[in-house]
Amino acid sequence: MALKLDSKIPAGELAQKWSNHKAAIKVVSPANKRKLDIIVVGTGLGGASAAASLGELGYNVKVFCIQDSPRRAHSIAAQGGINAAKNYQNDNDSVYRLFYDTIKGGDYRAREANVYRLAEVSNLIIDQCVAQGVPFAREYGGLLANRSFGGAQVSRTFYARGQTGQQLLLGAYAALNKEIHNGSVKSYPRHEMLDVVIENGEARGIIARNLVTGEIERHGAHAVVIATGGYGNVFFLSTNAMASNGSAAFQCYRKGAGFANPCFTQIHPTCIPVHGTQQSKLTLMSESLRNDGRIWVPKKLEDVQAIRSGAKKPSDIAEEDRDYYLERRYPAFGNLVPRDVASRAAKERCDAGFGVNETGLAVFLDFKTAIERLGKDVIKQRYGNLFDMYKEITDTDPYEQPMQIFPAVHYTMGGIWVDYNLMTTIPGLYAIGEANFSDHGANRLGASALMQGLADGYFVLPYTIGDYLSHKIQAPKVDTSTPAFDEAEKAVREKIEHLLSINGKQSVDDIHKRLGHIMWENVGMARTKESLTKAIAEIQALRKEFWKDVKVVGTADSFNVELEKALRLADFLELGELMARDALNREESCGGHFRSEHQTEEGEAKRDDENFVYAAVWEYKGMDAEPELTKEPLNFEFVHPAQRNYKD
């Protein structure tokens, strides 16, 4: 049976939809809120802000994270900033323009209503964060400063040095602490959700593992919120944190929640290139660098050879021998084209043989012009910490020589399917932030992830969850001794025991690296029918190998990192295949999804608006069975999809 997808998008004018919806949905009285329990899994911007706001409203909240403190969630690593339609710069920005840029940046594969709501609440986020004491950058007059970001022609990005994500997360974490202090939220650090419990078709709680003691715990609630971020680590090498994983989202999928657009992966253009086979993590250099940095490769192949061999330094290449390919191809946006466009353009140059490091997989990001124009001090003030970071990692001084950068997996636009209320196809189960699929379409603009996480957590979910919970005010506390909890716990225990009993020859990391390689080569920046078919077969084989040959040392009832990694990899091995299947199904190029068969003569992504204006929602049918596809058509009532043009 196919999934029933009711997006619950309210009727009416675009700008009125959210107001109308808020007026129409039900609320829960304070006395009843006290009787209702909510579980929030994940403490990034989405999870922390949601848990704090729900606690403030009076619900009983339990919040879980796998790290030793809620403050460690990977939202903390976002560098550049957060968008908002404040128009403080007087550059004719507006809610509509932010909405339009976002939906266009997403290559017209997101819902209009969701994106408009995101733009609408963006301003509230800035106000909220300022009030919490987030030290945003300021001008000398004492008012908030802005910078510009890719995919926009206005300056609407608010920032706190190169640590915006950190500061916003510390704000949300502080709000969470306030509620923990007040007793409305209980925090469970070093706990990993291993399953979601469904009873009578509704979410009733989770099974979690205490990562310190190995104990398996049952937690019941009237609603469960998944805020566990994205699954970019399926590629092994990504800019995600080492422990970032897709397992919580995948358990929801396994239990019947639809998973939408899994193939939409963002490859970030400005990362530090891979240096060797033993690398375990890629480092992002903020996109804000593209404000002043110019991206280039040499025009002549002999210069490329000279640079690779060390005969020439990049700074030796004369101006006329440099190919500033983004400025050449996209005059209107130049170096500030969206991420997917910048990444593909870098790949195109490297494929043509112009890659500038020994692996041939790097381009230059050069600040020479900016230093000449603004002086070293200004550049230092703007990007000092990023330059220092680059120097630490690569041992090269970016004030003297250009940075080398290359695209890397960064963010996943796909995720659990949710309706306008952020509820999944399972009643009572919600997904927010990067874990859901809702707002970024096929490509996310810079500084929009922070915006979405906080929008969902502070300003959307606290309202929409009431609509569901208003039907639960008579419901007693969830009993965790029911057969549904028994079964879920039993399954988790069996899975753990099975993993520990295999005792094969390959470590978890060995297999994860191989999966990452298959994914990057075949489901990466450019995908073809052949590569995807090949990937599916290879992943299936690798998965079989995993379940026969993995070696997980240690015990179930102790602190066991290998076991944690094995459990996550088991899910990545299925998720990778799902991504390839989705990419195979989507016979078009859009945003971060580039099918080489579908490109314009100039090598740009070619959408197919006849056949693919839909969200592809997949339903789990078993580990080795093909998932079933249901389409949620996207209706563009207010904007008209056109080929994205960043040229003029």
* Amino acid present at 190: R
Is 397 a binder of other proteins (CB under 8 A)?
no
* Amino acid present at 99: F
Which DSSP letter does residue 444 get?
P
Is 71 a binder of other proteins (CB under 8 A)?
yes
* Rounded least distance, CB 135 to other proteins, Å: 4
CB 421 within 8 A of CB 470: no
Is 181 a binder of other proteins (CB under 8 A)?
yes
Nearer to other proteins, 12 or 133 (CB): 133
Is 362 a binder of other proteins (CB under 8 A)?
no
Other Cβ atoms within 10 Å of 599 Cβ, number: 15
* Rounded least distance, CB 77 to other proteins, Å: 5
Read off φ and ψ for residue 614, nearest 5 degrees: -155, 160
Other Cβ atoms within 10 Å of 539 Cβ, number: 28
Is 305 a binder of other proteins (CB under 8 A)?
no
Stretch that binds other proteins, among 180-188, 435-443, 516-524, 632-640 (CB under 8 A): 180-188
Is 42 a binder of other proteins (CB under 8 A)?
no
> x/- contact string, 107-146, with other proteins (CB under 8 A)?
-----------------x-xxxxxxxx-xxxxxxxxxx--
SS3 label, residue 516: helix
Is 186 a binder of other proteins (CB under 8 A)?
no
Near other proteins by CB under 8 A: residue from 42, 46, 47, 70: 70
Is 212 a binder of other proteins (CB under 8 A)?
yes
* Amino acid present at 437: F
Task: Say which residue the tokens 């993590």 belong to.
Answer: 281
C-alpha 18/C-alpha 137 separation (Å) is 31
Near other proteins by CB under 8 A: residue from 217, 327, 562, 628: 562
Is 147 a binder of other proteins (CB under 8 A)?
no
* Rounded least distance, CB 262 to other proteins, Å: 24
Q: Which two tokens mark 567?
A: 């459990």
Task: Say which residue the tokens 């848990």 belong to.
Answer: 51
Q: What's the order of all strands across the beta sheet hosting 415-416?
A: 415-416, 259-260, 614-619, 628-633
Stretch that binds other proteins, among 274-282, 302-310, 331-339, 536-544 (CB under 8 A): 274-282
Contact positions with other proteins (CB under 8 A) in 573-632: none
Pairing of strands 429-431, 223-226: parallel
Is 280 a binder of other proteins (CB under 8 A)?
yes
Contact positions with other proteins (CB under 8 A) in 370-389: 389
Contact positions with other proteins (CB under 8 A) in 326-345: none
> x/- contact string, 564-583, with other proteins (CB under 8 A)?
--------------------
CB 160 within 8 A of CB 170: no
Contact positions with other proteins (CB under 8 A) in 469-508: 505, 507-508
C-alpha 304/C-alpha 404 separation (Å) is 13
Contact positions with other proteins (CB under 8 A) in 432-461: 458-459
CB 259 within 8 A of CB 578: yes
* Rounded least distance, CB 241 to other proteins, Å: 4
What CA–CA distances, in Å, run from 214 to 102, 453, 492, 554, 560? 43, 30, 12, 11, 8
Near other proteins by CB under 8 A: residue from 29, 369, 558, 635: 558
Stretch that binds other proteins, among 392-400, 493-501, 575-583, 595-603 (CB under 8 A): 392-400
CB 303 within 8 A of CB 323: no
Q: What is the helix (H) or strand (E) element at residue 86, kind and residue range?
A: none
Reference 17, options 634, 637, 461, 470; nearest CA is 637
Stretch that binds other proteins, among 107-115, 251-259, 414-422, 558-566 (CB under 8 A): 558-566
Enzyme catalytic residues: 339
* Rounded least distance, CB 45 to other proteins, Å: 13
Contact positions with other proteins (CB under 8 A) in 285-304: none
What CA–CA distances, in Å, run from 198 to 415, 461, 466, 505, 622? 19, 21, 20, 36, 17
* Rounded least distance, CB 503 to other proteins, Å: 8
C-alpha 24/C-alpha 362 separation (Å) is 53
Reference 282, options 169, 408, 375, 183; nearest CA is 408
Contact positions with other proteins (CB under 8 A) in 234-263: 241-243
CB 511 within 8 A of CB 546: yes
Reference 263, options 626, 621, 635, 618; nearest CA is 618
Is 45 a binder of other proteins (CB under 8 A)?
no
Beta strands in 363-510 (DSSP E): 363-366, 403-412, 415-416, 429-431
Stretch that binds other proteins, among 71-79, 97-105, 295-303, 632-640 (CB under 8 A): 71-79
> x/- contact string, 74-93, with other proteins (CB under 8 A)?
x-xx--------x-x-----
> x/- contact string, 149-178, with other proteins (CB under 8 A)?
-----------xx-x-xxx--x--xxx-xx
Near other proteins by CB under 8 A: residue from 3, 45, 52, 523: 52
